[in-house]
């Protein structure tokens, strides 16, 4: 079943300067992605941020995928 990130992620200029956040929190998609990139697991994230649910972490990944899929590829210079 495909995750629908819109159910869990929102953006509001009055919260975290409009960065995408998990609804009902001040936890940004950016911090979730940064922690995962640093090697944190989903379980680590749930322990670090007790307000998060596994579905929130998956929504952050789905959101990032959707954003990236809309971007142009970066060409490498030789």
> What are the C-alpha distances in Å from 20 to residues 1, 48, 74?
23, 19, 23
* pTM: predicted TM-score of the whole model, two decimal places: 0.84
Residue 56: CB atoms within 10 A of its CB come to 24
Task: Just give the CATH number of 5-68.
Answer: 1.10.10.10
Segment 36-46, tens digit of pLDDT? 999 999 999 99
Segment 52-75, tens digit of pLDDT? 999 999 999 999 999 998 866 555
Segment 7-26, tens digit of pLDDT? 999 999 999 999 999 999 99
Asked whether the beta carbons of 57 and 45 are under 8 A apart, the reply is yes
Q: In the predicted model, what is the mean pLDDT of residues 19-36?
A: 97
């Amino acid at each position: 079943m495909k995750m629908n990130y819109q159910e869990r992620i929102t953006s509001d200029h009055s919260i975290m300067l409009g960065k995408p956040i998990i609804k009902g929190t001040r936890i940004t998609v950016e911090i979730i992605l940064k922690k995962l990139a640093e090697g944190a697991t989903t379980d680590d994230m749930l322990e670090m941020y007790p307000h998060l649910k596994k579905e929130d972490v998956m929504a952050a990944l789905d959101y990032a995928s959707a954003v990236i899929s809309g971007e142009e590829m970066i060409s490498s210079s030789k």
